[in-house]
Structure 1
Amino acid sequence: MLSVYEGFFSGGARILHTDVVLGLQEGGQHHRVLSIHGEVLREATRQRMEDDASYRSLTTAGVEVTSLGRTFGLPGAFTADPTRFTGPELAATARAMAGADVILSLKEQPLGLLNQAGLPRRPVVVGLHRSDPENQGVALGELKAAIADGTVAACVCCAESTRAAYEAAGVPAELLHIIPNGVDLLRFRPDPARRVQLRAALGIPETAPVVVFAARYDAMKNVPLFLRAAREWLRHEPDGHVLMCGAGMTEDQPGLRADIDAVFGDDLRLTERLHRLGVRRDMEALYAAADVVGLTSAWGEAAPLCLIEGMMCGAVPVATDVGDSAAIVAGHGFVTPPDPVAIARAWSDAVAARPGLEPVVARSRERFSRTRMIASYAALIDQVHTEPIRPSLPEPPLPEPL
């Protein structure tokens, strides 16, 4: 098996796909990973492949990871044309593909590489992790081209909203398979000891209500809305604390700093309880320390990992109704309109409801299991491997001459 990544940078899709690769390797498959980019500047954060937690998890487990060495967004660095690849890049890709029976593409963006002429013909399974294919630039066109060519054997949709959106965008329904996201239930679980330790490290009292926001600094996450809700909540919860983590969620990020100044204005004293923690490798501890996991996204979400991971650690999910968020939260938390007052009120309601929701979440853990998810991926890959490569779709008929 070969997985192709656009790059190693912070994000739920990469975390999820990496966990799938690790799980499949544990089950006896042999996996390699090829990354198009070796370093990127995203969310105002310079992210090297070798520093990424997913990269380290893969290599520690013995998965070979190589890169075409491209960079993106770095000051003074050359950024290659994403639609063109050099001879050496194509040769490296061909070598990586030659030893694989099936290719996994992390989202549709790597198809711009896999669609290049002259590469070995292998069935491709594409992992789709968003609900807005129209906002993926040329990637949707690359996906349709790979389907027309017969290269794409299946698309894994992590959510019903993903399946519906891509079918509406013209992807054949028979190629769309729903495999809901799952997480490692041994890692993501309530942990009183971690809760106490993390709070102590951040100077947060054991009894203080805590909201965690795990997201990269991106427009789809609607960070200004989250901050307006945080201001409202911190005003009414004098003991409350808010944790912000993810790429770009740091004090030296200009965009976030400007957003905070604009939202909090004369109430900057409240930001003493607004903790900007950046990219973390101990998310299970942050979620265990929290009472609420919040999500304020405006578009694009499918099955947000933060809601599942946080919920499995005992934090009550509160989310806007985007993608499958409402289905994930149903019976376990709260869905809100994109209104800061309503969101702040829901956070307080979630803190109060947390003890009563604990047994409900405990009964639903199997639904969000990594084991279930990986078994479904393995079954689909086995099916793809035993089937012949799909033929190219016929060319549309030419119009009749006048």
Structure 2
Amino acid sequence: MLSVYEGFFSGGARIVHSDVVLGLREGGQHHRVLSMHAEVHREATRQRMENDTCYRRLTAAGIPVTALGRTFEGGVPATAFTGEELADTARAMAEADVILSLKEQPLALLNQAGLPRRPIVVGLHRSDPENQSLDELLTGIADGKVAAAVCCAESTRAAYEAAGVPGELLHVIPNGVDLIRFRPDAARRLSVRAELGLPETAPVVVFAARYDGMKNVPLFLRAAAEWLAREPEGHVLMCGAGMSEENASLLADVREAGVQDVGRLHMLGVRRDMEALYAASDVVALTSAWGEAAPLCLIEGMMCGAIPVTTDVGDSASIVAGHGLVTPFDPRLIAAAWSEAASARAELGPTLAASRERFSRTRMIASYAALLDRVSGRTTPRSHAGA
């Protein structure tokens, strides 16, 4: 199998896809990864491939990762490729039985003429195809190159079918996480709170997102201003690409939102210990306005014992049903929901624990393996793929 990435940078889709590749590798399949870009500048953050957590996990597991060497500086991705880049891609594709494309963007490369024909399975991780490389996806389908598309949510399937993708190509495989890594952990909770100077009993809200318009950061900050004013002991954690004091746009958003006690608003940037941050938190928040499908932060946070509070976008409402709260796009109501969720954490703990199998990585990887077997026409040996 060959997976093709647009690049290595912080984001849920890359985390899920990389975990799938690792799980399939654990199950006996041979994988390698090709990245179109070796360095990406986005969300006010310059992200080099070698520094990325997903890259490090893949290479540590013995999965070869190479790049075409490009640098993405934002804007519209290039669609023209050099002869050397196409030759490198052709050699990588020739060794594979099936190509996995992480989202639609790599199809700009894979649709190029003259490359080896291999069935392509595209991972779809959004519910707004109009803002993705939909034309490239439809071109790959019309040319017979795209054999299947994996939708991480029902909202994804519905949106892409409405956009013209044949329904028979769309397969829903909900996101899952490593239940061994993502779990309630009292020691992690205390450790992170000590590191950040958070009192043991303080209510804590975590917002794990990149600095992007779809994440609706201004709405989150207005809700944070309301909540911090009503919860004098509360703290808010923000993490992800661009969620740091080095991002001047974020600092302007903080001022515009009217956050009074910025000492209780912790802008942590990209973290590699998300399981610990979630375990240290009481609420995991999402305020996205569009584009979400099955937000990984909600699942990871829930599995660590944080109560999810989200706007109704993508499959978010169904993911948190019975486990958390869904809010309108109103900062006062969002702040009130955070307080309600923090107070209900002990009460909802058993419900979260009972739902863990539904969000299992094992289930997700087994479903991917079965689909890839069908697409390739082969049966690959597999062992247990982890929790």
Specify if TM > 0.5. yes
Aligned partner of residue 126 in structure 1, secondary structure? strand
Aligned to 2:8: 8
Residue 73 of structure 1 deviates from its aligned partner by 1.1
Aligned partner of residue 314 in structure 1, secondary structure? coil
Aligned partner of residue 291 in structure 2, secondary structure? coil
Residue 135 of structure 1 deviates from its aligned partner by 1.1
Match 1:199 to one of 193, 200, 204: 193
Match 1:126 to one of 122, 137, 159: 122
Residue 252 of structure 1 deviates from its aligned partner by 1.4
Aligned residue type for 1:190:
P
Aligned partner of residue 272 in structure 2, secondary structure? coil
CA distance in 2: counterparts of 1:42 and 1:86, whole angstroms? 24
Match 1:360 to one of 341, 351, 364: 351
Match 2:269 to one of 237, 261, 278: 278
Asked if residue 378 in structure 1 is aligned to residue 369 in structure 2, the reply is yes
Asked if residue 144 in structure 1 is aligned to residue 138 in structure 2, the reply is yes
Kindly indicate whether the alpha-carbon contact (under 8 Å) linking 1:83 and 1:112 is maintained by their aligned counterparts in 2: yes
The superposition leaves residues 25-60 of structure 1 with CA deviations (integer Å, 9 ceiling, x where unpaired) of 000000000000000111010000000000000000
Asked if residue 308 in structure 1 is aligned to residue 299 in structure 2, the reply is yes
Kindly indicate whether the alpha-carbon contact (under 8 Å) linking 1:3 and 1:31 is maintained by their aligned counterparts in 2: yes
CA distance in 2: counterparts of 1:222 and 1:19, whole angstroms? 27
Aligned to 1:153: 147
Aligned residue type for 1:346:
A
Aligned partner of residue 168 in structure 2, secondary structure? helix
What TM-score do the two structures reach when normalised by structure 1?
A: 0.93
Asked if residue 288 in structure 1 is aligned to residue 279 in structure 2, the reply is yes
Aligned to 2:384: none
CA distance in 2: counterparts of 1:115 and 1:373, whole angstroms? 28
CA distance in 2: counterparts of 1:260 and 1:167, whole angstroms? 39
Aligned residue type for 2:153:
A
Residue 336 of structure 1 deviates from its aligned partner by 0.1
Identity of aligned residues (%): 77
Unaligned runs of 5+ in 1: 388-402
Aligned residue type for 1:118:
G
Residue 261 of structure 1 deviates from its aligned partner by 1.1
Unaligned runs of 5+ in 2: 379-387
CA distance in 2: counterparts of 1:262 and 1:178, whole angstroms? 40
The superposition leaves residues 344-402 of structure 1 with CA deviations (integer Å, 9 ceiling, x where unpaired) of 00000001111111111111100000000000000000000018xxxxxxxxxxxxxxx
Match 1:183 to one of 174, 177, 180: 177
CA distance in 2: counterparts of 1:56 and 1:280, whole angstroms? 14
Residue 81 of structure 1 deviates from its aligned partner by 6.5
Q: How do 1:3-42 and structure 2 match up within 5 A?
A: 3-42=3-42
Match 1:112 to one of 100, 108, 111: 108
Aligned to 1:244: 238
Residue 325 of structure 1 deviates from its aligned partner by 0.2
- Find the structure with the greater CA-based Rg: 1
Aligned to 1:345: 336
CA distance in 2: counterparts of 1:113 and 1:29, whole angstroms? 24
Aligned to 1:395: none
Asked if residue 254 in structure 1 is aligned to residue 248 in structure 2, the reply is yes
What TM-score do the two structures reach when normalised by structure 2?
A: 0.97
Aligned to 1:68: 68
Asked if residue 102 in structure 1 is aligned to residue 98 in structure 2, the reply is yes
